[in-house]
Amino acid sequence: MSTPDTLLVVDAANVVGSVPDGWWRDRRGAAERLRDRLVGYAAEGLPDHPGPLDVVLVVEGAARGVASVPGVRVVSAPGSGDDRIVELAAEAADRPCLVVTADRELRRRVGECGARCLGPRTVHGPGQTPGPPPGRT
């Protein structure tokens, strides 16, 4: 089996935070659920990018320590998750890189590295529609 040519980097905090499903009560569990949904994309690719992908999920804060699984490498950012994502995009300058995030500033930064950006809907499972952030009480 050949190594996937395209790197898919997923901004866990941004993607998890785009669905008001209670993620704020269990950030680590939400990141693990996202990681598990990404496994299929590693083997099958995305609708606009068929074929195997090298999938990296970048976690930060309370989600640090989420383990990698076959098909999805989890990277715990020591500081800013955005900074680590930019580093990964810059390191991938010799191959196609896709970054999943809705963060405008991050999209600009990784775009400068040559990465193409996709929105969170790209990797949301059935029935998960991005919505407004949860209300704080």
Do the Cβ atoms of 125 and 40 come closer than 8 Å?
A: no
pLDDT in tens, 92-106: 989 999 999 999 999
DSSP state of 136: P
| Residue 50 pLDDT | 86
| Residue 137 pLDDT | 32
What is the side-by-side strand order in the sheet with 53-59? 72-76, 53-59, 6-11, 97-100, 116-118
Q: Quickly name the fold that domain 6-123 has.
A: Rossmann fold (3.40.50)
pLDDT in tens, 3-54: 678 999 999 999 988 876 767 678 899 999 999 999 999 989 998 888 899 9
Domain boundaries, the chain: 6-123
| Residue 20 pLDDT | 67
| Residue 23 pLDDT | 72
